[in-house]
């Protein structure tokens, strides 16, 4: 019998891989994700023991913002997803000087296991239940989307970030730039799916039961157009 986490993974991966949740492809990736998650947990514990200077030497920064690179932010909010070294994000942002010394690192995760304050946002062709910025969080001077993943060998971390704008003036009550954060999250998850550790099903139903491109065939299998 599947555990609750494996069942959630099957739903989530059906969207990421665009395959039925019961397919051999999805089951194979579940096994890989489970094994990779154990490695991520072990590596996270090892990196957490390092002081800022030593930690900074293990970080490679990829700045994908349109503006020139800068740091030392005081009023900053970071949006992310649970990939790779996600639990180390506050330490990484301080160690690399992106956040000013002594400043609290405010981080929120779109795919947090917490089921409070969820909103529907497009993700991998379906509507996912994600955590959205509150207006208080969005009042930060700068919003960054950051992801931290382990590089091959688990001896260093790739820290990648984008700057996001906040605008709560639209009539729908949802922030268009927050939707763009979901788009960036989709790219991060797709690229590092084996390091993605989301214990909550983000979609109410698996992809084969929700997306129109999945159609039942006479042989009982499902077909979809990629």
What pLDDT digit, counting tens, does each position of 124-133 carry?
Answer: 999 999 987 6
pTM of the model: 0.85
What pLDDT digit, counting tens, does each position of 81-101 carry?
Answer: 999 999 999 999 999 998 888
| Residue 180 or 45, more confident | 45
Sequence-separated contacts (24+) of 206-213 with Cβ below 8 Å: 206/10, 206/11, 206/14, 206/20, 206/21, 207/11, 207/14, 207/15, 207/18, 207/19, 207/20, 207/21, 207/124, 207/125, 207/126, 208/14, 208/20, 208/21, 208/22, 210/126, 211/15, 211/125, 211/126
| Residue 208 or 115, more confident | 208
% of the chain beyond a pLDDT of 70: 81
């Amino acid at each position: 019998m599947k555990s609750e986490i494996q069942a959630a993974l099957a739903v989530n991966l059906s969207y990421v891989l665009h395959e039925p949740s019961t397919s051999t492809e999805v089951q194979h990736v579940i096994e890989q994700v489970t094994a990779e998650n154990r490695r991520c947990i072990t590596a996270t514990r090892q990196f957490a023991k390092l002081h800022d200077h030593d930690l900074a030497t293990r970080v490679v920064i990829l700045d994908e913002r349109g503006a020139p690179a800068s740091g030392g932010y005081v009023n900053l909010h970071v949006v992310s997803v649970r990939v790779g070294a996600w639990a180390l994000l506050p330490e990484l942002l301080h160690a690399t000087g992106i956040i000013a010394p002594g400043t609290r690192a405010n981080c929120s995760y779109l795919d947090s296991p917490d089921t409070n304050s969820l909103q529907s946002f497009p993700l991998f062709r379906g509507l996912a239940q994600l955590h959205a910025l509150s207006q208080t969080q969005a009042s930060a001077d700068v919003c960054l989307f950051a992801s931290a993943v382990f590089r091959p060998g688990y001896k260093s971390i790739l820290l990648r970030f984008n700057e996001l704008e906040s605008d709560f003036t639209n009539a729908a009550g949802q922030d268009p730039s927050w939707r763009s954060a979901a788009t960036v999250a989709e790219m991060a998850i797709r690229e590092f799916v084996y390091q993605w550790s989301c214990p909550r099903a983000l979609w109410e139903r698996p992809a084969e039961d929700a997306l129109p491109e999945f159609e039942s065939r006479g042989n009982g299998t499902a077909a979809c157009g990629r």
